[in-house]
Amino acid sequence: MTTPSIIVDLFCGAGGLSYGFKNQGFEISAGIDIDENCRYPYQENIEAPFIRTDVTEVTREQLLELFDPHKIKILVGCAPCQPFSKYNQKNSDPNWKLLESFGRLISEVKPEIVSMENVPQLKKFKDGAILRTFIDTLNKAGYHISFDTLFAPNYGLPQSRSRLVLLASLLGPISLPAPTHKEQHVTVRDALSDLPALSAGSVDDFDNLHRSGGLSDLNIKRIKASVQGGSWHDWPEKLVAKCHKSETGKGYRSVYGRMSWDKPSPTITTQFYGFGNGRFGHPDQDRAISLREGAILQGFPRDYKFVPAGEKVRLTHVGKMIGNAVPVTLANAIASAVKLHLEEHQNV
């Protein structure tokens, strides 16, 4: 029998990482995040307390209060990845320092297990100095560490998303999860083909999250001219925006396109509900994908709740929560690796 464990989730968001650990039978003590919009989905789906606070202000004593001293402490989290993203060309977002706070709390509390997830660009951010500092902090504290970039479709996610995953343990060597779907990826068709059809700007009668953003008359013409896996390069000249006709705009091919039915989707961003924000057009319906479809492509179950019943659904708020989430399918794999590690190193 393994020693009981308990988890605190830093930067928990709407609960994607916690939900993966919950699926694997782990006890979740609490989630911590600064975004109040995440309170309802976290508490409703994870069934654990949501603590709204800035992680930079969390103290050793406050964090220890959330752990049971008789259980193995597991600290997990995904510091906001926008500062390290390729889309943040100037690297000017001050939130990159949040990873330092994660490292500080690890060194002060010494949880037996740590899981950190972020964008692969973290390896190159400031010539890799931020990641090296984080790893050095763990090394000095005596952790065994494994980290690498994982391609999410290899773990069953119907989305072409790569993530940097780090696992660390004071108990002994720890391994990253082994791929489960390397030979056959789950596709957009597998994930979405049986959802009810929608038109642009409409909402499903039975699922308030299965709603699509509206489109202008011009964008309706554009999406009708779009092909699966394509972009605005497939349109007749009269539909192409002036910015894309310029030399600087010609390289932006991954916008105004449809997803392909028989491949994983593009990476789901916080603005996936907008046709012009990426290749987020539905494979054959003339609209962008719905909030629910984006959540499914992020691995959330179809009944995952993001907004209380009767409350207005705001595309920007919910889209941000979904796009920022750790994909649940990848979280399941991470949690499985931690579970296997505990079984190997903590038999009592």
The residues that are catalytic are 81
Check: CB of residue 188 under 8 Å from CB of residue 283.
yes
**Distance between CA atoms of 229 and 198, rounded to whole angstroms?**
20
**Distance between CA atoms of 331 and 78, rounded to whole angstroms?**
11
Per the rule left: phi > 0, alpha: psi between -120 and 50, beta: everything else, 310 is left
Interaxial angle between packed helices 328-345 and 16-23, expressed in degrees from 0 to 180 and rounded to the nearest 10: 50
**Distance between CA atoms of 306 and 301, rounded to whole angstroms?**
11
Among all chains, which residue has been given the structure tokens 């082994």? Answer: 178
Q: What is the DSSP string of 179-197?
A: PSSSSS---HHHHHTTSPP
340 alpha carbon, distance to own chain's centre:
23
Q: Is the dihedral of CA 334, 336, 338, 344 positive or negative?
A: negative
Which helix (H) or strand (E) segment holds residue 337: the answer is helix 328-345
Interaxial angle between packed helices 129-140 and 98-109, expressed in degrees from 0 to 180 and rounded to the nearest 10: 10
**Distance between CA atoms of 271 and 161, rounded to whole angstroms?**
15
